[in-house]
Structure 1
Amino acid sequence: MSAPDGTARAITLVILAGGRGTRFGGAKQLEPVGPAGEALLDYTIRDASTTGFSRTVIVARSDIDDAIRSHVSRMHPDADITVVCQDRHGPHRDKPWGTAHALLAAAETVPGPFATANADDYYGAGSLALLAPLLSITDAGSSDWFLVAFPITGTLSASGPVSRGVCQLDDDGQLVRVTEERVQLSPRGTIQTVDGTEVRPDTLVSMNLWGLAPPVFDCLASGFDPFAAAHLHDGEEYRLPDEIARLLSAGRAGVRVVRSDAPWAGITHRADLPGLRRFLAELDRTRPG
């Protein structure tokens, strides 16, 4: 529902930028990929500002905090951007606790409906424009949420296997669960899991472009302490898709899946960079204005 005066609600974009980029071999969050030295998150911030999002929260790490702040203040001097550090919340562990914990770190900075996005993914204004109008009329206390999902065929890497969250939907287009799979292109051009199971090219996958509301924070907080106690030393991650799936199975939330056919791009392997830079250069060349 909309605000009491009938106006749309202010909505926030939360960018998850706390990962270590182990497979990539460095901080993907700030890797220059655009013609003017833009990182992928710069494109997402820019697209969000043109599609109805009023502010951005970036969840980073302490060791790149200063670099992130310097970068975004230079690239987006007039934008409303807050940076928080994931590793300053909860017990210390060398490996970040995962995307659900990263989102928890942003809880105090997000008063209303919001979207999540990965720092190392390009979603495009078209995908964010699917979420913004839905979130702008979502009540801050709602447990009816959204997921923008992409056909898997447009999310693969020619450089090797990638992890993708395969969506299972019910007959009404509501999310049942997201199952993480390692997938790749086979030599004959089909899509398959690393154990050889073929995957349909129109299978929808989650790239963490969720539309959520503040009740998710209490749900995540209640589950994190026991998770942290059980996994302090084993590296298991507190993952947002897993926690949302638990809420769905318990009937505590609902998630409507919205398909996006907008071009997606991202970084998993360092070998992805040349193709990504060509894609973004062409995007900038053809962008209006």
Structure 2
Amino acid sequence: MQPTLLILAAGMASRYGSLKQIQQFGPSGETIIDYSIYDAIRAGFGKIVFIIRENFAEEFKEIFEPKLKGKVETAYVFQNMDAFTDGFEIPADRTKPWGTAHAVLCAKGAINEPFAVINADDFYGRDAFEKMAAFLKNECADDKYSVVGYELGKTVSDYGFVSRGVCQVSDNGNLAGITERTKITVEDGKIAYEEGDKKVELGPKTPVSMNFWGFAPSVFPISEKLFSQFLEQNISNPKSEFFIPIVVDQFIAAGLGSVKVIPTSSQWFGVTYKEDAPGVQESLSALVSKGEYPDNLWK
């Protein structure tokens, strides 16, 4: 059975104001999502599911359907504020979506096979997709999930601090936990994060999660139960979010299974700061000129 790729794109509209201006980085106007889908198709993914906001559905389909028609099956799922909130009154001041784990949960009716989850506007690289596809086809099970572990040095920005989920990896290569480190910066070639008033150095090979996960459909009932608990505790906090690592930590802590850390040599890139954009364009041009990608992905 071919695995599915779930792309978290519900937050895109708020960043771009309108999807008409989705940033084009590739030589033929490709967006970062285009490269992820291209890598996924050639790695053997059989279906692409987009999580989007309902009010941007038409614009979104206009951009992607003409490119992907006949190349891969597509489906669209909406992250609505009231999804899976049965019995809870949503406060009037809540405008923020419920977070990445809620977005995944919204795809419950659309996915019945092993699947990967990625962010819409991050470039993950061919190696990462190939390794994830192999995991989903050969190893994924109700009690065995995965996360791609990027080398921290391949994910930082020269233009300011970034936040990264630093992975603790056990001796058998499984995830022991994830610690969100905010304010990671590069100074004089050294990477460090701020904690209080001190700086703690991290090695460039430290594995970090960039939100590229591999799940079995068993994650849906687990997430649903945890989301209910999350709402009980956080419904009145307008900024609280139900993130994927919350589900993963509980999955491990409750002894429900293990999460394999898949190391990759791929260079990650994304646009954390607008100054990052020219670098992303240069990196893609370099990959195209090396023959990693055609100069027009969908020709």
- Give yes or no for TM over 0.5: yes
Hey, what does 1:134 align to over in structure 2? 135
Residues 7 and 119, structure 2, Cα contact 8 Å, conserved in 1: yes
Q: Structure 1 CA distance, aligned partners of 2:69 and 2:29?
A: 15
Residues 192 and 199, structure 1, Cα contact 8 Å, conserved in 2: yes
Hey, what does 1:270 align to over in structure 2? 274
Q: Structure 2 CA distance, aligned partners of 1:49 and 1:167?
A: 28
Hey, what does 1:214 align to over in structure 2? 217
Q: In structure 1, give the amino acid aligned to 2:128.
A: S
Q: 1:225 to 1:128 in 2, by over 3 A?
A: same
- Extract unaligned runs of 5+ from structure 2: 295-299
Matched residue SS, 1:156: coil
Residues 151 and 204, structure 2, Cα contact 8 Å, conserved in 1: yes
Residues 9 and 51, structure 2, Cα contact 8 Å, conserved in 1: yes
Hey, what does 2:203 align to over in structure 1? 200
User: Where in structure 2 are the equivalents of 1:65-214 lying within 5 Å?
Assistant: 65-78=57-70, 79-87=72-80, 89-91=83-85, 93-138=94-139, 142-195=142-195, 196-214=199-217
Q: Structure 2 CA distance, aligned partners of 1:286 and 1:115?
A: 27
Q: 1:265 to 1:27 in 2, by over 3 A?
A: farther
Hey, what does 1:56 align to over in structure 2? 48
Hey, what does 1:261 align to over in structure 2? 265
Q: Structure 1 CA distance, aligned partners of 2:194 and 2:106?
A: 33
- Extract unaligned runs of 5+ from structure 1: 1-8
Q: Structure 1 CA distance, aligned partners of 2:162 and 2:18?
A: 18
Matched residue SS, 2:113: coil
Query: How many angstroms does 1:25 deviate by?
Result: 6.4
Hey, what does 2:28 align to over in structure 1? 36
Residues 57 and 82, structure 1, Cα contact 8 Å, conserved in 2: yes
Residues 77 and 107, structure 2, Cα contact 8 Å, conserved in 1: yes
Q: Structure 2 CA distance, aligned partners of 1:215 and 1:264?
A: 28
Residues 12 and 112, structure 1, Cα contact 8 Å, conserved in 2: yes
Q: Structure 2 CA distance, aligned partners of 1:127 and 1:94?
A: 34
Q: In structure 2, give the amino acid aligned to 1:132.
A: A
Q: Structure 2 CA distance, aligned partners of 1:270 and 1:133?
A: 34
Q: In structure 1, give the amino acid aligned to 2:273.
A: H
Residues 184 and 192, structure 2, Cα contact 8 Å, conserved in 1: yes
Q: In structure 2, give the amino acid aligned to 1:197.
A: V
Hey, what does 1:4 align to over in structure 2? none
TM-score by length of 2: 0.87
Query: How many angstroms does 1:150 deviate by?
Result: 0.5
Q: Structure 1 CA distance, aligned partners of 2:174 and 2:226?
A: 23
Length, aligned pairs only: 279
Residues 146 and 213, structure 2, Cα contact 8 Å, conserved in 1: yes
Q: In structure 1, give the amino acid aligned to 2:133.
A: A
Q: Structure 1 CA distance, aligned partners of 2:236 and 2:154?
A: 36
Is 1:287 the counterpart of 2:280 in the alignment? no
Q: Structure 2 CA distance, aligned partners of 1:34 and 1:155?
A: 20
Residues 135 and 211, structure 1, Cα contact 8 Å, conserved in 2: yes
TM-score by length of 1: 0.90
Identity of aligned residues (%): 33
Matched residue SS, 1:136: helix
Instruction: Identify the range of structure 1 (33-42 vs 123-132) with the bigger mean alpha-carbon deviation.
Output: 33-42
Residues 115 and 131, structure 1, Cα contact 8 Å, conserved in 2: yes
Q: In structure 2, give the amino acid aligned to 1:202.
A: K
Residues 16 and 22, structure 2, Cα contact 8 Å, conserved in 1: no
Deviations 1:166-191 (Å, cap 9, x if unpaired)? 00111111101111111433432211
Query: How many angstroms does 1:138 deviate by?
Result: 4.2
Is 1:251 the counterpart of 2:255 in the alignment? yes
Q: Structure 2 CA distance, aligned partners of 1:26 and 1:270?
A: 15
Residues 100 and 240, structure 1, Cα contact 8 Å, conserved in 2: yes
Q: In structure 1, give the amino acid aligned to 2:215.
A: L
Q: Structure 1 CA distance, aligned partners of 2:223 and 2:124?
A: 25
Q: In structure 1, give the amino acid aligned to 2:192.
A: Q
Hey, what does 1:6 align to over in structure 2? none
Q: Structure 1 CA distance, aligned partners of 2:171 and 2:73?
A: 40
Q: 1:21 to 1:200 in 2, by over 3 A?
A: farther
Residues 174 and 257, structure 1, Cα contact 8 Å, conserved in 2: yes
Runs of 4+ in 1 over 6 A off after TM superposition: none
